[in-house]
Amino acid sequence: MIPFNKPYLTGKETQYIEQSVSSGKISGNGQFTQKCQQFFEQKYGFKKCLLTTSCTDALEMAAILCNIQPEDEVIIPSYTFVSTALAFVRQGAKIIFADSQNNHPNIDAEQIESLITPKTKVIVPVHYAGMACDMDKIMSLAEKYNLLVVEDAAQAIDSYYKNKPLGSIGHLAAFSFHETKNIISGEGGMLTINDDRFIHRAEIIWEKGTNRAEFFRGEVNKYGWVDVGSSFLPSEIVAAFLWAQLENLDDIQKKRKEIWNNYYKGLKPLADKGYFQLPNIPEYATNNAHMFYLVCNSLENRSKLIAHLKENDILAVFHYLSLHNSEFYKNKHDGRILKNCVNFEDCLVRLPLFYELNKESVCNIINTIKI
Ligand SMILES: *Cc1c(COP(=O)(O)O)cnc(C)c1O
């Protein structure tokens, strides 16, 4: 059976974990945490990075930092993972779901302005498959209406919008290191803070509402309870694992892009004949090879393709169920029909993509799709 995903280990993970264990410091915000955060700040120019135990946690921190009050409105694409919306719902926000573009699962930036009201506070673009949303458009709306932008960059590590790293454009951004992402630590995530106004408070929220981080830098002589927060920081064991992955970031990305390009080349003739659509990379975006997906012509065709691959021991999977139609939110949604989102819900299928997927397997998958 070719699985959909297989977490890749670089080989140094357990060595670094042992190192952190024998150093006697295994709680959070130690040496490996600092190394990982500095790596991101230096490589991508994020102003401040804080590792978290998941991307969901990073989104929750972002929602607290945005100072969401009950009834505030947050604009989010409906075609996304639950956490994108959940983090803001927990702070009492009302979610205004936006549709996808007709040729890409990303939020249709052209529709956002019509959803803005005096209650709107935040826009949350999700860079689906690591491909950028139209950030110039979104940032200019944010400026015009005085809104905040939180990038859900869970899938978007090492990807760019017009040469700007994703995660560096919005006021805040959230990344994931869940085992299904390009760079992993089992569960894990990171908040990036690009607006100085939020840096001080972010550290406090991260450390259970205390000014502990300042205390350890010697900036205050005692620490105590100063704000809301939670235990958002991961242990050094998680950070040590992540460091082994970051050392191999370039190699991992190179390998994933090779696989992605082989899929694209191999499937292009079928796409040209109209059997399905290949991923459409916007001209302002790069591809970080987080995911290889096809968009079938109907739900029926997609079901047939998934079943056919399964009969041949290949696991392909569909993706999000529209959040505006979810059991939890459908009664709260304003009834607008989001047809592009529903189209991706019905027709999008993801093919296996992981570091150890060899060329023969990719050929085998392509040939199986051809039959
Ligand atoms: C994976 C993912 C998340 C959640 O990440 P966790 O680290 O599992 O909390 C959120 N949003 C998107 C778009 C994702 O792909």
Query: pLDDT by residue (tens digit) across 160-176?
Result: 999 999 999 999 999 99
Ligand 1 contacts CB of residue 155 (under 6 A): yes
**How far apart are alpha carbons 132 and 160 in whole angstroms?**
7
Looking at the chain, the whole-number percentage of residues with pLDDT higher than 70 is 100
For residue 213, the model assigns a pLDDT of 87
For residue 250, the model assigns a pLDDT of 98
Ligand 1 contacts CB of residue 184 (under 6 A): no
Query: pLDDT by residue (tens digit) across 42-98?
Result: 999 999 999 999 999 999 999 999 999 999 999 999 999 999 999 999 999 999 999
134 and 279 both lie in a single domain: no
Domain end call among 228, 246, 264: 246
210 and 271 both lie in a single domain: no
For residue 371, the model assigns a pLDDT of 81
Ligand 1 contacts CB of residue 56 (under 6 A): yes
212 and 277 both lie in a single domain: no
Cβ atoms of residues 80 and 326 within 8 Å: no
At residue 228, does pLDDT exceed 90?
Answer: yes
- The total of other beta-carbon atoms located within 10 Å of residue 277's CB is 15
- Which residue blocks in 217-298 are alpha helix, DSSP H? 236-246, 249-272
266 and 279 both lie in a single domain: yes
**What mean pLDDT comes out for the span 252-269?**
98
158 and 277 both lie in a single domain: no
Ligand 1 contacts CB of residue 126 (under 6 A): yes
Query: pLDDT by residue (tens digit) across 114-137?
Result: 999 999 999 999 999 999 999 999
Residue 168's identity, in one-letter code, is S
289 and 220 both lie in a single domain: no
**What mean pLDDT comes out for the span 191-210?**
97
233 and 84 both lie in a single domain: yes
Out of 83, 159, 187, 291, mutate this one to test ligand 1's pocket (max ligand atoms within 8 Å of CB): namely 83
For residue 168, the model assigns a pLDDT of 98
Domain end call among 213, 246, 279: 246
The average confidence (pLDDT) of the chain is: 97
Quick one: CA dihedral 169, 147, 82, 133, positive or negative?
negative
Cβ atoms of residues 318 and 302 within 8 Å: yes
240 and 289 both lie in a single domain: no
At residue 216, does pLDDT exceed 90?
Answer: no
Q: How far apart are the first and last CA of the chain?
A: 18
132 and 268 both lie in a single domain: no
Ligand 1 contacts CB of residue 16 (under 6 A): no
Query: pLDDT by residue (tens digit) across 298-315?
Result: 999 999 999 999 999 999
Question: Domain tally for the chain?
Answer: 2
Query: pLDDT by residue (tens digit) across 320-371?
Result: 999 999 999 999 999 999 999 999 999 999 999 999 999 999 999 999 999 8
210 and 102 both lie in a single domain: yes
How many alpha carbons fall within 13 Å on the CB side of residue 313?
5
Residue numbers of the domain that contains 261:
249-370
Looking at the chain, the whole-number percentage of residues with pLDDT higher than 90 is 98
283 and 144 both lie in a single domain: no
Domain end call among 204, 223, 246: 246
How many alpha carbons fall within 13 Å on the CB side of residue 122?
34
